[in-house]
Amino acid sequence: MEMLSFKNISVVYNEDVAESLPVAKHTRSVLAANGLESKIAPSSHYDPQASLVITIGGDGTLLKASRFYAPKEVPVLGINLGRLGFLAQANTDEIEASVKKLINNEYRIESRMMLSAFSDRVLALNDIVIKGDTFSRTSKLFLYINGKVVCDYLADGIIISTPTGSTAYTLSAGGPVLVPGLDAMVIVPICAHTLTARPLVIPANEEIKITSCNTCSKLKMSADGQDTIDISSDDCVVIKKSATEAKLVILEKENNGFYAVLREKLQWGVAPER
């Protein structure tokens, strides 16, 4: 079992959420009461020397931290202040119990697949999204897999997702849910202007290339809905599985398996009340 290092704990809070700093301070005091020293840092100023990161915020805060710390192989644990918190492991009323579990080795560290674009200059734990930069117009996007033409989309955009991200934007766009341990990628067009455009699930070792027509407007690409860059319409974007993996701390507790979380937080398969 891979073990955590408590040598340099960083408690990262979301500056845009007013209550996150008080919760971060409370987390630090709980750690201190259990003999563990930690530092508090905003999500805009990470500690490159951290050995364990505890994020205070929503899934977005955890995703941002994971992209920074994944190349350093630093595990991340999420405390949820957001609406859903699908990736987070605890709510604010569970901080004391969560710290106890860390000390008692009641956890596991999961390696999660990430996506890479532009030779790992762009990393994503959830998804990479390509859209046109004009709100009122669809874009013509061409999809290649392993250098072979698969199809072209007239759509608002296209999502390339990991299994971790399959419960996020991909799901909202009509994609399937993948168990995090699967070695696969999901390709989902956004509001495609055709009835035959459906999601694709492909092996993770395949290479995806997306291009546009020269007459189209410029494109925008985002990683996990956060890091956005402009792309020229005559550029091509190559997306593939990264050699870098994110490390997420999963606490051992009742109903914390993937299917239980799916049912609890997304109300998966729950029949409506009469």
CATH number at residue 84: 3.40.50.10330
Q: Are residues 77 and 189 in the same domain?
A: no
Q: Are residues 236 and 257 in the same domain?
A: no
Q: Are residues 96 and 139 in the same domain?
A: no
Report whether pLDDT(246) > 70. Answer: yes
List of residues 6+ apart from 255 with CB closer than 8 A: 261, 264
Q: Are residues 142 and 182 in the same domain?
A: yes
Q: Are residues 144 and 177 in the same domain?
A: yes
In tens, the pLDDT along 73-88 reads 999 999 999 777 889 9
- Global pTM? 0.93
Q: Are residues 260 and 201 in the same domain?
A: no
Extract the tokens encoding 249. 């701390």
Kindly indicate the confidence band of residue 47, based on its pLDDT and cuts at 50, 70 and 90: very high
Kindly indicate the confidence band of residue 216, based on its pLDDT and cuts at 50, 70 and 90: low
Q: Are residues 260 and 232 in the same domain?
A: no
Task: Give the pLDDT mean for 14-27.
Answer: 95
Look up the domain containing 39 and give its range: 9-106+252-266
Kindly indicate the confidence band of residue 213, based on its pLDDT and cuts at 50, 70 and 90: confident
**Is residue 213, in this structure, part of any structural domain at all?**
yes
In tens, the pLDDT along 91-150 reads 999 999 999 999 999 999 999 999 999 988 999 999 999 998 776 678 889 999 999 999
Report whether pLDDT(270) > 90. Answer: no
Pick from 31-45, 47-61, 143-157, 246-260: least confident: 246-260
CATH number at residue 224: 2.60.200.30
**Is residue 69, in this structure, part of any structural domain at all?**
yes
Residues 219 and 230: beta-carbon distance below 8 Å:
yes
List of residues 6+ apart from 64 with CB closer than 8 A: 43, 224, 226
**Is residue 1, in this structure, part of any structural domain at all?**
no
Pick from 170-174, 204-208, 229-233: least confident: 229-233
Q: Are residues 123 and 228 in the same domain?
A: yes
Number of structural domains found in the chain? 2
Predicted confidence at residue 80, as pLDDT, reads: 93
Q: Are residues 150 and 199 in the same domain?
A: yes
Q: Are residues 122 and 234 in the same domain?
A: yes
Predicted confidence at residue 268, as pLDDT, reads: 78
Enzyme catalytic residues: 59
Q: How far is CA 96 from the centre of its chain?
A: 26
- Tell me 72's DSSP state: G
242 or 266, which is more confident: 242
**Is residue 271, in this structure, part of any structural domain at all?**
no
**Is residue 274, in this structure, part of any structural domain at all?**
no
**Is residue 205, in this structure, part of any structural domain at all?**
yes
Q: Are residues 100 and 131 in the same domain?
A: no
222 or 18, which is more confident: 222
**Is residue 25, in this structure, part of any structural domain at all?**
yes
